[in-house]
Amino acid sequence: MVSSPSAVGREVALREAWHPVTYAAAVTDAPVATDLLGERLVVWRDSTRTAHVHSDLCIHRGTALSLGRVEGDALVCPYHAWRYASSGACVAIPQLADPTRVPAKARIASYRCQERYGLIWVALDEPRWELPELPELERDGWTVVACGPYAWRADSSRQVENFTDFGHFPWVHPGLLGDPERPVVPEHTVRTEGHVLHYEIVRPEAPSSDDFPVFANEETDLPERRSRYELHLPYTIALRLGWGGEEGMVYLFASQPVGHERSIGYVLIGRNYNLDQPDSVLQSFEDVIFEQDRMRAQGLAA
């Protein structure tokens, strides 16, 4: 049986890295379930709105805590209402005469998490590297649009590979990202710095389409786009686009390795132009692009 690369033998390394597990805005007052590297997780916010991530498994009878509720600074199980603090320690068992006399071993696993760029990031073990720096996404004069998330029946390595693959643009996204009359992949060199691959291309692209006026192309018949990529191991890409002028666009693409042949892609797009354009224009554009990609990458007819 053929397995995707990250399904076998690389879980340890993958546990030592930050991965996105949800858009931060999706975590409001109720706990949220998500999966990372085959582990079921629950994400919730305490009364200060700080996010916490735990194993989604009540230590009592194994119920999913994501089916429960948040009360103040406690995550409450939906079955017998055991209460857990953000440390993972159970702090109250209502069935006891003194509910606070909780055995020390009554605790759930906690995982380090951080909220950045509109995402909740989790590392199951001590992460080897920091998150990439994308100051544009936090800068005045820029707006950020969140697209997706895009769930694929494919490994995260497949999503990342697809995102960096220049050769498919004219064939999978003609008129949107590429021009079938100009299919040659331009010269480019790849530089490695630590855990980050850097490469840059100036590539032919389609003129901005009337349906999706999202890029800042020059008004020419043969527009070009400068694309600077940073691929941060394992599954995060920072991509900066320019057209020779002041206009800039930055993509943060990060894929959540959900489990065997399952991934979820998050796309945050910052730009310093079209500031008043409704988010739905970029979101619809990326929905089309990612659906075109998903069909090919999964190898499915539909």
Tell me which residues touch Fe ion (CB under 5 A): 293
CA dihedral 212, 215, 216, 220 (to 10 degrees): -70
The alpha carbon of 192 is separated from its chain's Cα centroid by a whole number of angstroms, namely 23
Q: Do residues 82 and 93 lie in contact, with contact meaning Cβ atoms separated by under 8 Å? A: yes
> Out of ligand FES, Fe ion, none, which partner does residue 266 contact, by CB within 5 to 8 A per kind?
none
> Out of Fe ion, ligand FES, none, which partner does residue 243 contact, by CB within 5 to 8 A per kind?
none
> Out of ligand FES, Fe ion, none, which partner does residue 60 contact, by CB within 5 to 8 A per kind?
ligand FES
What's the rounded Cα separation, in Å, for the pair 54 and 33?
10
Size of interface with ligand FES, in residues (CB under 6 A) = 8
* Measured CA distances, 131 to 113, 119, 122, 187, 299 (Å): 12, 11, 11, 29, 31
> Out of Fe ion, ligand FES, none, which partner does residue 77 contact, by CB within 5 to 8 A per kind?
ligand FES
What 3 state SS string does 272-302 have?
A: CCCCCCCHHHHHHHHHHHHHHHHHHHHCCCC
Using alpha carbons, select from 15, 21, 22, 43 the residue that is nearest to residue 31: 43
Beta carbon nearer to ligand FES, 108 or 176: 108
Who contacts 193 (Cβ-Cβ below 8 Å, separation ≥6)?
none
Beta carbon nearer to ligand FES, 82 or 235: 82
> Out of Fe ion, ligand FES, none, which partner does residue 267 contact, by CB within 5 to 8 A per kind?
none
What mask, x for binding ligand FES by CB under 6 A, covers residues 74 to 113?
A: ---x-xx-x-------------------------------
Beta carbon nearer to Fe ion, 117 or 166: 166
What mask, x for binding ligand FES by CB under 6 A, covers residues 26 to 65?
A: --------------------------------x-xx-x--
> Out of Fe ion, ligand FES, none, which partner does residue 293 contact, by CB within 5 to 8 A per kind?
Fe ion
Nearest distance from residue 29's CB to ligand FES, in Å? 20
Q: What is the residue whose two structure tokens read 């995707």?
A: 4
Nearest distance from residue 82's CB to ligand FES, in Å? 4
What's the rounded Cα separation, in Å, for the pair 57 and 67?
10
Using alpha carbons, select from 151, 143, 144 the residue that is nearest to residue 118: 144
- Residues of the shown chain interacting with ligand FES in the complex, contacts defined by CB under 6 A: 58, 60-61, 63, 77, 79-80, 82
